[in-house]
């Protein structure tokens, strides 16, 4: 919604200011200029990126428009599933815990936290490192280094679509100039026409420059920035998992380890200590009843 409102405000102010200065809005309606610019940008985008990145860019744009970032209840579920797993690690045998991490879709623990179970990448991340904890040979600093490397890789992969969109935004002004040059070439072929006709052709050509700059700095660039914000906030979930499990490996009790993870959440989204405690108690009780 924020993107739509922003685009409406931007377009309204630009076109409204142009009309207030005495400009005629119909002059800006040059569909073939936009075909040249947008078509060339799309073609360059397809040339420069593998299909997986092209596909992910579409998904990233949808996430940006929907503002699909973790809310407080998402963080509560993340901390809740970690609390349940750490409690199992502390009190149950290795075989009992492995039953949860080897097949999370059938696990009563993960079924109690549907948002986490739906996020397959985060679920696998949690299960992989719980499995390493069960093995018992890896030391905390080794696990931390491995987690940092994987989180860096995850973040790099998630931001590929952002970098692809930024490249398109950077190229749009130049593509607008290309469209304008083609318009000027057309106008040069009509030098024998009246000044009114020649002026209209030159004005139409300059719309290409305007369109390229506008699409770059007012549309594609801001959307790319929003994609980065959304993707980085989603990647923050992995940091929460990392700090929580490392605290547990270093000897903290499950409830104390949760505080290490909670403190890595942005202050705007961070649930209170009471909310975490209440959530883990309620969901933990529901999970025990389901398991029984």
pLDDT of residue 262: 92
User: Is pLDDT of 291 > 90?
Assistant: no
CB-CB contact of 273 with 259 (8 Å): yes
Write the secondary structure of 110-155 as one string of H (helix), E (strand) and C (coil): HHCCHHHHHCHHHHHHHHHHHHHHHHCCCCHHHHHHHHHHHHHHHH
CA 275, CA 71: separation in Å to the nearest integer? Answer: 13
Q: Indicate the domain borders of the chain.
A: 30-292
Lowest mean pLDDT among 113-127, 157-171, 192-206: 192-206
With bands split at pLDDT 50, 70 and 90, how would you rate the model's confidence at 292? Answer: very low
User: Is pLDDT of 17 > 50?
Assistant: yes
CA 87, CA 101: separation in Å to the nearest integer? Answer: 14
pLDDT of residue 289: 46
Nearest alpha carbon to residue 82 among 206, 258, 279:
258
pTM for the model? 0.86
219-278 tens-digit pLDDT: 999 999 999 999 999 999 999 999 999 999 999 999 999 999 999 998 888 988 888 888
Long-range contacts at 252-257 (CB < 8 A, ≥ 24 apart): 254/82, 254/83, 254/86, 254/87, 254/90, 255/83, 255/280, 257/82, 257/86
Average pLDDT of the residues of the chain = 89
With bands split at pLDDT 50, 70 and 90, how would you rate the model's confidence at 283? Answer: low
User: Is pLDDT of 290 > 70?
Assistant: no
75-133 tens-digit pLDDT: 999 999 999 999 998 888 888 888 888 889 988 899 999 999 999 999 999 999 999 88
């Amino acid at each position: 919604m924020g993107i739509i409102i922003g685009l409406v405000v931007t377009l309204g102010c630009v076109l409204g200011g142009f009309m207030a200065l005495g400009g005629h809005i119909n002059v800006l309606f040059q569909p073939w200029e936009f075909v040249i610019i947008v078509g060339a940008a799309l073609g360059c985008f397809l040339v420069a990126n593998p299909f997986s990145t092209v596909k992910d860019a579409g998904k990233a744009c949808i996430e940006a428009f929907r503002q699909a970032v973790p809310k407080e209840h998402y963080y509560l579920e993340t901390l809740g599933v970690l609390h349940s797993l750490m409690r199992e690690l502390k009190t149950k045998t290795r075989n009992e815990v492995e039953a949860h991490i080897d097949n999370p879709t059938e696990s009563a623990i993960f079924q109690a936290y549907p948002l986490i179970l739906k996020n397959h990448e985060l679920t696998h991340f949690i299960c992989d490192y719980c499995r390493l904890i069960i093995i018992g040979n890896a030391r905390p600093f080794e696990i931390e280094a491995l987690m940092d490397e994987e989180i860096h890789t995850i973040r790099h992969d998630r931001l590929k679509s952002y970098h692809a969109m930024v490249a398109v935004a950077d190229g749009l002004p130049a593509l607008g100039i290309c469209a304008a040059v083609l318009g000027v070439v057309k106008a040069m072929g009509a030098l024998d026409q009246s000044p009114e006709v020649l002026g209209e052709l030159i004005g139409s050509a300059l719309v290409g420059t305007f369109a390229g700059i506008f699409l770059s700095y007012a549309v594609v660039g801001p959307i790319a920035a929003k994609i980065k914000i959304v993707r980085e906030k989603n990647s923050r979930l992995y940091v929460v998992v990392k700090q929580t499990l490392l605290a547990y490996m270093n000897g903290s009790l499950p409830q104390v380890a949760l505080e290490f993870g909670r403190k890595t959440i942005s202050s705007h989204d961070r649930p209170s200590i009471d909310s975490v405690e209440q959530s883990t108690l309620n969901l933990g009780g529901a999970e025990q009843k389901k398991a029984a």
